[in-house]
Copies of this chain bind each other. A is one copy, B any other.
């Protein structure tokens, strides 16, 4: 079904234009068999897809599933049972020790100006320590970046540092706005801790101006215990209000209280299933997402979508009678959000077992309408990938660009492997990312299914043309 026959090559386009990574001539081969197979993959995904129903269960019946939580173990069992029920050739669990951070009681924050109390929607950042039981009260210093905080140095002592760097709305790709200010969330406490600050609060990483705080990982890095301070995200609406009130009342006091705790590491698992390759069983193409999520929402977009799409890729192969030459492996990685232990363990074990991973694809950008793929590959495979553009364009997959492929598959990086990231439309992602609003009702069935079909189509092409 998937052999290249010279006679099947219908059209050869020579496109001489400015492409990423190469200005050289790219031969674009449009193969009729490929075109039909891809159409069949999309047809079955849209008419017989299961990803939406699976995600409904994962989101609504299991819910948020932070590493180390009982829900994360339920999700692991669910993933294992589901892949077994789909009759993949092999399904197993891979042991991973994961961090075990618990949020504790709902956080409280407020500030008072002229006897008016303003309650502030707040959530502890993942990895933060608790405040004392009675909470923390201190004056606030607002900064817009890590650099600005560092320059203030000793002036920060005793204060709550308020990182208020907003998203740059002019980026078309919202991930660029995110990466432009994610540092203040991840390293705000590390950078200011040595100046003896009282605590750190961070503007939520979203375009939206609303009442939802967005959590996410933070790190104290190598700070000594006595320099670690409680760190929390506050909603963008509260951040704007606080910033405004600080202008009039620079000495206003901010109060917050959180009771989060880091317990000893817990045993957990990557869930792995595979279809064994008919010609090259020892050459592996991995497709995956991460099974853990933050605890505030139900993790439908981050990354329940990637999980159900990855499982659906293998199901779509079976449904369409595609017998892959290479082994196609689906991995539900654990602990992407606060440790990446699953991704690291998977790569370590692959290395220890001398496994030959030729390609990996990750879906961890939400379940939105397809836009393309990012890639990190050598020149030969880059040219091959770009030659598939005419096959992918009818499905809205135009953005085929070099870039970050995925956190979980990152540790697999080598000279020979090609890494890919599924790129759905990014406009709505940070409306929900790491917040209580990341819930199943934000999923559009067709968009999710089109994503699964896009991923299956890429895996099909990789299996057909890679060696």
- Closest Cβ neighbor of A48 among chain B residues: B169
- Closest Cβ neighbor of A46 among chain B residues: B169
- Closest Cβ neighbor of A394 among chain B residues: B172
Q: How far is the CB of A454 from chain B (nearest CB, A)?
A: 11
- Closest Cβ neighbor of A390 among chain B residues: B18
Q: How far is the CB of A465 from chain B (nearest CB, A)?
A: 21
- Identical chains bound together, number: 2
Q: How far is the CB of A278 from chain B (nearest CB, A)?
A: 28
Question: Is A157 on the interface with B (CB-CB < 8 A)?
Answer: no
In contact, A444 and B431 (Cβ under 8 angstroms):
yes
In contact, A172 and B450 (Cβ under 8 angstroms):
yes
Residue from the list B47, B369, B399 in contact with A169, Cβ < 8 A: B47
Question: Is A14 on the interface with B (CB-CB < 8 A)?
Answer: yes
**Given A15-B15, A43-B170: A444 touches B425 (CB 8 Å cut-off):** no
For the residues of A in contact with B, the DSSP-based class is mixed
Question: Is A428 on the interface with B (CB-CB < 8 A)?
Answer: yes
Question: Is A393 on the interface with B (CB-CB < 8 A)?
Answer: yes
In contact, A207 and B369 (Cβ under 8 angstroms):
no
The answer for the CA separation of A427 and B427 in the assembled complex, in Å, is 14
In contact, A170 and B46 (Cβ under 8 angstroms):
yes
Mind listing 24 A-B residue pairs with CB under 8 Å? A11-B18, A13-B17, A13-B18, A15-B15, A15-B16, A15-B17, A42-B170, A43-B170, A172-B394, A172-B396, A207-B446, A208-B445, A369-B369, A369-B425, A369-B427, A371-B396, A393-B398, A396-B425, A398-B398, A427-B447, A427-B450, A428-B444, A428-B446, A431-B444
